Amino acid sequence: MSGTELARAYWSDVVRPILERELPGLPHAAARLGSGSDVLGLDDDTSRDHDWGLRLTLLVPADRVTGTDQVLAATLPASYRGLPTAFPVTWDPAVRHRVEVADPVGFVRSRTGLTLGGPGGRLGATDWLSLTGQAVLEVTAGPVFEDGPGEITVLREQLAWYPHDVWLHVLAAEWTRVGQELPFVGRTGQRGDDLGSRLLAARLATSLVRLGFLLERHWPPYPKWAGTLFGRLPGAPPVADALAGALAAGSWPERDAALREACEALHARQRAVGLPALDGPVCEDFYDRPFTGLRDVAGALRAAVTDPEVRALPHRGGVEQWVDDVGTLTDAGVRGRLARASLA
């Protein structure tokens, strides 16, 4: 049984009957959201050694959160299907039940750092750029079992994808990153620095995978699952094959050629999904050197942006595109401050 299947059964057999008996009429939504491989549908036997088990997200009005949590703590059985209802997790060593009780807006804020819903809930460009794909997936990826008030459904819809011009902006930023380092794979190799060439190829593969997610309007997960979910995207096969070749290549010319192939496949996909693209190939020779360079596909994307707020943004894109520190990317408050500071 997967974690989400277990959560659904736990809700139906145990938690919902308690609410109906102890808190009749309580507005609520039940889901399996937040952290955990099971939220992405990717848990397996290995996942069960920590932070896996009887976990559930229960969303109630803000003034009912504490009372609901207390009722559950007092009435949940000790176990269900042979699993304990109270257990420690890596971020909290206390042995307690793991039904996360929150209000919908507060839950979304805890994951994204943003306040959605109601007056003032509209997100600006800076808000969008403070997000990571994983933070959004912790709200939008897991199953909702029941949503009586409908609020979490609306909030999930608000986070479905970037506004169009912000989407163009982050795509342009990622192509810019690729163009800045693509020729160096060959240059370092030519100088006999094969390790440096391989390191650059790996960095570029990360950016090209992110481009693949962006082109398919799919939030990228944290790195552990990026390859798995990337492989399921409609446009992934030719890109994945080329990147596998680049990372396995024994020489820099093979590496350079494979990265060029990946770039061309992504550019073709960009054209196919109706986004601004160049006439002809996206790659070109880097001046008179035998290395691959990139044409100004980023400029074509930026030229299509009409929102003045987005047009005025620096070209670095979202925080996730220029920060790779795990502690920073998993701290919604820090991400928000960095996003705002980047515009100062």
**Is this prediction's pTM over 0.75?**
yes
Q: What is the mean pLDDT of the chain?
A: 96
β pairing state of 83-84 and 92-102: unpaired
pLDDT for the residue numbered 342 = 83
Gap between the Cα atoms of 187 and 197, Å rounded: 8
pLDDT for the residue numbered 57 = 98
**Residues 227 and 233 sit within 8 Å (Cβ to Cβ):** no
Q: What average pLDDT does the segment 311-326 reach? A: 94
- Residues with Cβ within 8 Å of 76's Cβ and at least 6 positions away in sequence, in order, are 14, 15, 18, 85, 86, 97, 99
Confidence of residue 1 (pLDDT cuts 50, 70, 90): confident
The dihedral region occupied by 144, where left means phi > 0, alpha psi between -120 and 50, and beta the remainder, is beta
137-151 pLDDT, tens per residue? 999 999 999 999 999
Question: Residue for token digits 């795990």?
Answer: 326
Structure-token pair, residue 128: 């969008």
Q: What average pLDDT does the segment 273-287 reach? A: 97
User: Does the pLDDT of residue 112 top 60, yes or no?
Assistant: yes
Question: C-alpha dihedral over 219, 314, 173, 183, to 10 degrees?
Answer: -150
Gap between the Cα atoms of 321 and 206, Å rounded: 10
User: Does the pLDDT of residue 182 top 60, yes or no?
Assistant: yes
Q: What average pLDDT does the segment 300-329 reach? A: 95
Q: What average pLDDT does the segment 174-185 reach? A: 98
Reported as type and span, the H/E element at residue 232 is none
Share of the chain above pLDDT 90, in %: 96
Q: What average pLDDT does the segment 105-112 reach? A: 96
pLDDT for the residue numbered 122 = 77
In the chain, where the domains are located? 3-158, 164-306
Beta bridge partners of 80: 83
pLDDT for the residue numbered 116 = 87
pLDDT for the residue numbered 343 = 77
261-276 pLDDT, tens per residue? 999 999 999 999 999 9
User: Does the pLDDT of residue 119 top 60, yes or no?
Assistant: no
Residue 203 is which amino acid?
R
Class of residue 225 by CB neighbours under 10 A (exposed 0-12, middle 13-18, buried 19+): middle
227-271 pLDDT, tens per residue? 999 999 999 999 999 999 999 999 999 999 999 999 999 999 999
- Residues with Cβ within 8 Å of 201's Cβ and at least 6 positions away in sequence, in order, are 185, 246, 247, 249, 255, 259
